[in-house]
Protein backbone atom coordinates (compact mmCIF):
# COMPACT_ATOMS: atom_id res chain seq x y z
CA UNK A 1 0.00 0.00 0.00
CA UNK A 2 1.04 3.55 -0.62
CA UNK A 3 -0.44 6.28 1.54
CA UNK A 4 -0.20 9.99 0.78
CA UNK A 5 -0.58 12.10 3.90
CA UNK A 6 -1.92 15.56 3.21
CA UNK A 7 -2.43 18.45 5.61
CA UNK A 8 -5.36 20.80 5.11
CA UNK A 9 -4.83 24.12 3.36
CA UNK A 10 -4.38 27.40 5.19
CA UNK A 11 -7.40 27.92 7.43
CA UNK A 12 -9.07 30.87 9.08
CA UNK A 13 -7.65 29.62 12.37
CA UNK A 14 -4.13 29.61 10.92
CA UNK A 15 -4.41 33.23 9.87
CA UNK A 16 -6.04 34.20 13.19
CA UNK A 17 -3.13 32.42 14.93
CA UNK A 18 -5.43 30.35 17.11
CA UNK A 19 -5.41 26.65 17.92
CA UNK A 20 -8.41 25.33 15.97
CA UNK A 21 -8.44 21.75 17.16
CA UNK A 22 -11.92 20.39 16.65
CA UNK A 23 -13.67 23.76 16.67
CA UNK A 24 -16.54 23.70 14.17
CA UNK A 25 -16.75 25.99 11.16
CA UNK A 26 -13.04 26.56 10.60
CA UNK A 27 -12.89 27.26 6.87
CA UNK A 28 -10.11 27.43 4.34
CA UNK A 29 -8.90 30.89 3.46
CA UNK A 30 -8.67 31.98 -0.16
CA UNK A 31 -5.05 30.80 -0.09
CA UNK A 32 -6.12 27.46 1.40
CA UNK A 33 -8.68 27.00 -1.38
CA UNK A 34 -5.94 27.72 -3.94
CA UNK A 35 -3.71 25.15 -2.23
CA UNK A 36 -6.48 22.53 -2.37
CA UNK A 37 -6.94 23.15 -6.10
CA UNK A 38 -3.18 23.01 -6.70
CA UNK A 39 -2.75 19.72 -4.84
CA UNK A 40 -5.68 18.28 -6.79
CA UNK A 41 -3.97 19.26 -10.06
CA UNK A 42 -0.70 17.76 -8.85
CA UNK A 43 -2.10 14.46 -7.56
CA UNK A 44 -4.90 13.83 -10.07
CA UNK A 45 -2.48 12.08 -12.43
CA UNK A 46 -1.80 9.37 -9.82
CA UNK A 47 -3.88 6.19 -9.67
CA UNK A 48 -5.43 7.09 -6.31
CA UNK A 49 -8.25 4.71 -5.44
CA UNK A 50 -9.43 5.92 -2.04
CA UNK A 51 -9.55 9.19 -0.13
CA UNK A 52 -9.90 9.15 3.66
CA UNK A 53 -9.93 12.37 5.63
CA UNK A 54 -10.82 13.96 8.89
CA UNK A 55 -14.48 15.00 9.01
CA UNK A 56 -13.50 18.57 9.91
CA UNK A 57 -14.69 21.20 7.44
CA UNK A 58 -11.22 22.46 6.55
CA UNK A 59 -10.17 18.90 5.71
CA UNK A 60 -13.30 18.17 3.68
CA UNK A 61 -12.71 21.37 1.70
CA UNK A 62 -9.06 20.39 1.10
CA UNK A 63 -9.80 16.96 -0.37
CA UNK A 64 -12.96 17.96 -2.29
CA UNK A 65 -11.21 19.18 -5.49
CA UNK A 66 -9.09 16.03 -5.70
CA UNK A 67 -12.06 13.78 -5.02
CA UNK A 68 -14.03 15.55 -7.73
CA UNK A 69 -11.21 15.19 -10.28
CA UNK A 70 -10.87 11.49 -9.48
CA UNK A 71 -14.59 10.78 -9.24
CA UNK A 72 -14.20 9.47 -5.69
CA UNK A 73 -16.39 9.94 -2.63
CA UNK A 74 -14.13 10.81 0.34
CA UNK A 75 -14.41 8.68 3.46
CA UNK A 76 -14.61 11.18 6.34
CA UNK A 77 -13.24 9.00 9.12
CA UNK A 78 -13.69 10.15 12.74
CA UNK A 79 -10.48 8.34 13.71
CA UNK A 80 -8.52 10.80 11.56
CA UNK A 81 -9.91 13.86 13.31
CA UNK A 82 -7.67 16.55 14.77
CA UNK A 83 -6.30 16.42 18.29
CA UNK A 84 -8.83 17.26 20.99
CA UNK A 85 -7.07 20.24 22.53
CA UNK A 86 -9.76 20.53 25.19
CA UNK A 87 -9.43 23.82 27.08
CA UNK A 88 -6.83 25.02 24.59
CA UNK A 89 -9.23 24.91 21.63
CA UNK A 90 -9.68 28.30 20.00
CA UNK A 91 -7.10 30.05 22.16
CA UNK A 92 -4.48 32.35 20.61
CA UNK A 93 -1.08 30.72 20.06
CA UNK A 94 0.62 33.80 21.57
CA UNK A 95 -1.22 33.04 24.81
CA UNK A 96 -0.50 29.32 24.73
CA UNK A 97 3.28 29.72 24.39
CA UNK A 98 3.31 31.07 27.95
CA UNK A 99 1.74 27.87 29.33
CA UNK A 100 4.17 25.39 30.98
CA UNK A 101 2.66 22.58 28.86
CA UNK A 102 3.82 24.37 25.70
CA UNK A 103 7.43 23.38 26.43
CA UNK A 104 6.39 19.74 26.72
CA UNK A 105 4.43 19.94 23.45
CA UNK A 106 7.50 21.35 21.69
CA UNK A 107 10.17 19.17 23.34
CA UNK A 108 8.46 15.88 24.14
CA UNK A 109 5.15 15.85 22.24
CA UNK A 110 4.24 12.27 23.12
CA UNK A 111 4.23 13.29 26.80
CA UNK A 112 1.67 16.07 26.30
CA UNK A 113 -1.91 15.67 27.45
CA UNK A 114 -4.12 18.69 26.87
CA UNK A 115 -6.30 19.87 29.77
CA UNK A 116 -9.82 18.66 29.10
CA UNK A 117 -8.60 17.00 25.90
CA UNK A 118 -6.46 14.10 24.78
CA UNK A 119 -2.80 13.20 24.79
CA UNK A 120 -0.66 13.28 21.67
CA UNK A 121 0.36 9.65 22.25
CA UNK A 122 -3.36 8.76 22.11
CA UNK A 123 -3.70 10.67 18.85
CA UNK A 124 -0.78 8.76 17.36
CA UNK A 125 -2.25 5.40 18.38
CA UNK A 126 -5.68 6.36 17.03
CA UNK A 127 -4.37 7.60 13.68
CA UNK A 128 -1.95 4.73 13.10
CA UNK A 129 -4.66 2.18 13.96
CA UNK A 130 -7.03 3.90 11.51
CA UNK A 131 -4.46 3.86 8.71
CA UNK A 132 -3.66 0.19 9.29
CA UNK A 133 -7.37 -0.67 9.36
CA UNK A 134 -8.07 1.25 6.14
CA UNK A 135 -5.08 -0.40 4.45
CA UNK A 136 -6.26 -3.85 5.50
CA UNK A 137 -9.79 -3.15 4.23
CA UNK A 138 -8.53 -1.81 0.90
CA UNK A 139 -6.13 -4.75 0.43
CA UNK A 140 -8.92 -7.25 1.11
CA UNK A 141 -11.31 -5.47 -1.24
CA UNK A 142 -8.81 -4.94 -4.08
CA UNK A 143 -6.67 -8.03 -3.62
CA UNK A 144 -3.57 -5.95 -4.30
CA UNK A 145 -1.71 -2.83 -3.23
CA UNK A 146 -3.69 0.39 -3.46
CA UNK A 147 -2.64 4.03 -3.58
CA UNK A 148 -4.75 6.09 -1.25
30 assigned to active site: no
30-43 and 57-70 are packed helices; what angle lies between their axes, rounded to 10 degrees? 30
Catalytic residue among 30, 34, 49, 82: 82
Given the residues 8, 34, 99, 140, the one annotated as active site: 8
Which one-letter DSSP state was computed for residue 28? Answer: B
Q: Helix, strand, or coil here: 69?
A: helix
Q: How far apart are CA 109 and CA 117, in angstroms?
A: 14
Instruction: Examine the residue annotation and report whether 8 is marked as an active-site residue of this protein.
Output: yes
CB atoms within 10 A of CB 135: 17
Backbone phi, then psi, for 33, in 5-degree steps? -65, -40
Question: How many residues are there in the chain?
Answer: 148
Residues acting as catalytic residues = 8, 82
Amino acid sequence: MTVILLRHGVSTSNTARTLAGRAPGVELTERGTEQAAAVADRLAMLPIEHIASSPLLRCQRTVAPLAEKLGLEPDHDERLIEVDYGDWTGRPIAELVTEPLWRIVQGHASGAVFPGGEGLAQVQQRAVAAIRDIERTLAEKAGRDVLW
